Amino acid sequence: MKNRSVFVTGAGGELGSALLSHLVKAGAKVVALDVNEKYVCPLAGVRTVHGDLCNQNLLQSLFDEHKFDMVFHFAALLSSAAEKNPFLSQKVNVDGTGFLLELAYNAGKERKSPTRFLFPSSIAVYGSADKARLRSPLTEDECLQPETLYGIQKLFTEQVGAYLTRRCSGEYLDFRSLRYPGLISIDTLPTGGTSDYAAEMIHHANDGKAYGCFVSSNSKLPFMTMPDAIAALTSLAEADADKLTRSVYNVRGFSVSAAELREEVLKHFPKAQISFEPVEWRDNVVASWPDDIDDSLAQKDWGWSACHSLETAFTDYFLPGLRKAA
């Protein structure tokens, strides 16, 4: 990362905020873009830019000025928000992302070395009419019939990015993507995501607030902690291209049902009030996603290994971090 010119979109979100400190420590020159006018990156040496991903003139001017050779693209409407705002999500998740890919491709062509483009995809790309197939861990190439607009848009970007990389034999664009499970952070609360209930359950318990979980108790998803999410992303970003056998990889930490997560929360917060108040459409989205995913290819190709299980996520990450923040 040292001396790389790095562009981070959606820098004020969960992933962006967690990534920036790693980039700065690694010696990268970072420009952080976020649509929130109140967002200011607290790290010295990071240039904060306020703007919309759909502002093509702004993106073009930033590429012209900084000659980015690495992009981390986090700006997006998340799953629940995309379902509520389908046409806005099309503009942001597809049109805005497409133009950013074009800029990265052209920058690599002009520089005569590939722009490395890191894209966080999602287990939302999975889906099947046969729901029984979703109850077993899925590899990267199984059950790719997403039922949500967010999943459709993520899968489309995966395929376009991989195509553009193949099209130029990796000479102009080096597109790399992780299919993330639900992410849980102690530092920020997510907004607009289908898997938000996990973080909300933990934060409400810590704050002494009652929580009505918006999915049913038997709803099950794979998750990972934010430190593991950043470790996966940065290790993929730095992996040698000749070691990678594909553009898109699964990663995961642990798979847990909402009831099992509640039980674990109650071990550490015995007075927590957690009930199940399923919202049908959100519950249906979770049911359309896999219970777990297979990340053996990431382990094989670039040595990926999660640090946190469900138990160690609480003992080594959630609880120490929440106490520190108190």
Cross-sheet strand order for the sheet of 70-73: 46-50, 29-34, 5-9, 70-73, 115-122, 173-180, 248-250
Q: Which residue has the tokens 């979109």?
A: 9
Q: Which residue has the tokens 């209930």?
A: 197
Kindly give the residue spans of alpha helices, DSSP state H, lying in 208-272: 226-238, 258-268
Q: What are phi and psi of 190, to 5 degrees?
A: -70, 160
What number of H helices and E strands is found in the chain? 13, 12
- CATH number given to 5-181+224-250: 3.40.50.720
Chain segment 234-280, per-residue pLDDT in tens: 999 999 999 999 999 999 999 999 999 999 999 999 999 999 999 99
| CA 70/CA 175 separation, integer angstroms | 10
**Residue 201 confidence (pLDDT):** 95
> Model-level pTM?
0.94
Vertex 136, ends 135 and 139: CA angle to 5°? 125
**Residues near 69 by beta carbon (within 8 Å), at least 6 away in sequence:** 4, 5, 6, 107, 108, 111, 113, 115, 116
Q: Is residue 163 annotated as a catalytic residue, yes or no?
A: no
**Residue 254 confidence (pLDDT):** 97
User: What is the pairing mode between strands 248-250 and 274-276?
Assistant: unpaired
Vertex 236, ends 169 and 78: CA angle to 5°? 100
CA 46 vs CA 13, 23, 75, 115, 266: distances in Å: 15, 10, 17, 20, 40
Of 126, 150, 197, 211, the active-site residue reads 150
Q: Which fold has domain 184-222+253-292+307-325?
A: UDP-galactose 4-epimerase; domain 1 (3.90.25)
**Residue 23 confidence (pLDDT):** 95
| CA 221/CA 258 separation, integer angstroms | 8
Vertex 307, ends 303 and 313: CA angle to 5°? 155
Helix (H) or strand (E) holding 119: strand 115-122
| CA 19/CA 41 separation, integer angstroms | 11
* pLDDT in 10s for each residue of the chain, 326 residues: 788 999 999 999 889 988 999 999 999 999 999 999 999 998 998 999 999 999 999 999 999 999 999 999 999 998 888 999 999 999 999 999 999 999 999 999 999 999 999 999 999 999 999 999 999 999 999 999 999 999 999 999 999 999 999 999 999 999 999 999 999 998 876 666 788 999 999 999 999 999 999 999 999 999 999 999 999 999 999 999 999 999 999 999 999 999 999 999 999 999 999 999 999 999 999 999 999 999 999 999 999 999 999 999 999 999 998 888 76
Cross-strand bridge partners of residue 275:
212
Q: Which residue ranges make up each domain of the chain?
A: 5-181+224-250, 184-222+253-292+307-325
